[in-house]
Amino acid sequence: MSSTSVLPDPSAEPPAFTELGLRPELLAALAGLGYEEPTPIQREAIPPLLSGRDLLGQAATGTGKTAAFALPLLQRMPDDRAGDDPHALVLVPTRELAVQVSEAFHRYGKDLGARVLPIYGGQPIGRQLRALDAGIDVVVATPGRALDHIARGTLRLGNLATVVLDEADEMLDMGFAEDIEAILEHTPEQRQTVLFSATMPARIDGMARAHLTDPVRILIAREQPVAGEAPRVRQSAYLVARAHKPAALGRVLDVESPTAAIVFCRSREEVDRLTETMNGRGYRAEALHGGMSQEQRDRVMGRLRAGTADLLVATDVAARGLDVEQLSHVVNFDVPSAPESYVHRIGRVGRAGREGVAITLAEPREHRMLKTIERVTGQRITIDKIPTVADLRTRRLELTQAALRESLLEDDLDPFRVIVETLSDEFDLMEVALAAVKLAHEATLPGSDEAEEEIPQVAVRPPREGRSAGYEGRGERRPARPRTAGTTQVFIGVGRRAGVRPQDLVGAITGETGVRGRDIGSIEIADRFSLVEVPVTVADEVIAGLRGSTIKGRKATVRRDRDERR
């Protein structure tokens, strides 16, 4: 087996998408999306996948792994696609991921006319049948539903050139091992097989040995600290849902009040969108990306240095070689696609003994990538709570207080004495001071914080160990307590007699809601009912999702467990 590392020489200029051998239609799609350069995993995976090799890749969400397998797969689709049976099958653990991956295929493959269909449990099967019947090139499916279609004869895999197992560790954790084996049985021997997994436990290795032929291995090999490369900066991360990211960025900037900050985005498109949003929110933001001329870039940098802009929104490519004296904060609007990209980004601050701050806005599902970065850099990233409206108010008052103190120490206040003296005939001195502070506060901080909205906090996932314990002795009635803190149990009125297995419950929950497999804790299956442990924050969503669906063909009673203890 050949093996490569995804940590390339940081001084080497990375290859462009054009050097990876991709066809013009795909390059055009990538340019349209504003992707400026391939991520490390894409650099390593695309060439061997284009040549038809099998591949075993260790990559978590956020590394760009979807494009790493989708682009070669689209390129390898024959132009004269004969017949209607799919050319590629991508197996994913959840409905959420099925939708996400097929959207990615649509985005990259639109000029190639790729026909892509997500199929997952919980969606009416009729629509899937019609689409499969009309002819499909790429099917992105959860294992259970794929197997349903294979059994019905509606998903025929005889023409498959490529099978991708995405987030394989997650699929195994959810109990899909047998389903995957059964599906692979229906695929041609000569297929190309690609396996991506965030972790590489022995079971994944076994699976790779059984189903991959002489694969290229792409692993995050170097886990020692990157000595001397990572500067000493305060590093923190906030977990926030995608939709709330611009608001969270604004809130964090308000509380941190940077001298000047650079915000990194993944694509040109995102740079432009975020710059516009932040300007709309009253920040002085400037965009910087690879599509701009040198003259435009110089102008932007000039404004930042002169202090007429305080926020630079940039892609990695555009920010390469940039050195801004005033920068105090680096913000990753997304978790960077590789640890060394993180190290390069945060290296922009904390130079020459100055204090630097690095902030990362991560979606909960990107939490694992943060851990990888911590491991590689050997430095801690603290997960902080997004400041609340109350925190913001406190901070604003502190700023006003600091400004007043400075004025008391530095300014000539005599010209105002007459006002205080006059007013003090009529009012108490304290009240006069309060009114003056109020006016000063409002004048320095335009925009009332009355209009500020709370940004929903999202929880860090419970540790994996907690949940895998739930799968031991499947179907056994285990002592239910103690439960992990912050979780609750959901009662579902079907159990062993109805043939319910843990994977049916996990499949139904992840299929019907945005909750992911690893968020689900212990599962108990009794004869007539089941109890599933979930984080309190998503319990209502789980209950609503399960009420709207069937489990093993039945509508079941679903509610919070009455016997609940907190």
Residues within the interface to ligand AMP (CB under 6 A): 35, 38-39, 42, 61-67, 266-267
Residue 71 or 539 with smaller CB distance to ligand AMP: 71
Residue 369 or 539 with smaller CB distance to ligand AMP: 369
Residue 260 or 362 with smaller CB distance to ligand AMP: 362
Q: How far is the CB of 531 from ligand AMP (least distance, A)?
A: 32
Closest to 232 (Cα-Cα) out of 354, 395, 126: 354
Q: Is 564:489 a contact under the CB 8 Å cutoff?
A: yes
Residue 39 or 197 with smaller CB distance to ligand AMP: 39
Closest to 64 (Cα-Cα) out of 266, 249, 355: 266
Closest to 361 (Cα-Cα) out of 182, 470, 237, 233: 237
Rg, Å, the chain Cα set? 27
Q: What are the tokens at 22?
A: 């991709």
| C-alpha distance across the termini of the chain, in Å | 51
Residue 37 or 452 with smaller CB distance to ligand AMP: 37
Q: What are the tokens at 127?
A: 């629509």
Residue 59 or 534 with smaller CB distance to ligand AMP: 59
Residue 66 or 142 with smaller CB distance to ligand AMP: 66
Residue whose structure tokens are 């004495």 = 417
| Separation CA 217–CA 168 (nearest Å) | 15
Q: Is 55:216 a contact under the CB 8 Å cutoff?
A: yes
Q: How far is the CB of 162 from ligand AMP (least distance, A)?
A: 17
Q: How far is the CB of 132 from ligand AMP (least distance, A)?
A: 25
| Separation CA 6–CA 218 (nearest Å) | 7
SS3 state at 162: strand
Tell me the β-bridge partners of 382. 236
Q: How far is the CB of 383 from ligand AMP (least distance, A)?
A: 20
Q: How far is the CB of 63 from ligand AMP (least distance, A)?
A: 5
Q: Is 310:327 a contact under the CB 8 Å cutoff?
A: no
Q: How far is the CB of 39 from ligand AMP (least distance, A)?
A: 5
Q: How far is the CB of 106 from ligand AMP (least distance, A)?
A: 12
Residue type, 264: F
Q: Is 453:390 a contact under the CB 8 Å cutoff?
A: no
Residue 67 or 248 with smaller CB distance to ligand AMP: 67
φ, ψ for residue 548, nearest 5 deg: -85, 5
Q: How far is the CB of 60 from ligand AMP (least distance, A)?
A: 7
* Helices marked H in 135-284: 143-152, 168-173, 177-185, 202-211, 245-256, 268-280
Residue 35 or 105 with smaller CB distance to ligand AMP: 35
Residue 132 or 330 with smaller CB distance to ligand AMP: 330
Q: How far is the CB of 248 from ligand AMP (least distance, A)?
A: 17
Q: How far is the CB of 38 from ligand AMP (least distance, A)?
A: 5
Q: What are the tokens at 402?
A: 């600091």
CB atoms inside a 10 Å sphere around CB 354: 14
3-state secondary structure 467-508: HHHHHCCCCCCCCCCCCCCCEEEEEECCCHHHCCCHHHHHHH
Residue 57 or 64 with smaller CB distance to ligand AMP: 64
Residue 149 or 245 with smaller CB distance to ligand AMP: 245
Half-sphere exposure at residue 407, Cβ-oriented, CA atoms within 13 angstroms: 12
| Separation CA 430–CA 335 (nearest Å) | 49
SS3 state at 360: strand
Q: How far is the CB of 42 from ligand AMP (least distance, A)?
A: 6
Q: How far is the CB of 129 from ligand AMP (least distance, A)?
A: 29
* Helices marked H in 378-463: 389-410, 417-426, 429-444
| Separation CA 443–CA 407 (nearest Å) | 15
Q: Is 456:241 a contact under the CB 8 Å cutoff?
A: yes
Residue 119 or 362 with smaller CB distance to ligand AMP: 362
Q: How far is the CB of 67 from ligand AMP (least distance, A)?
A: 4
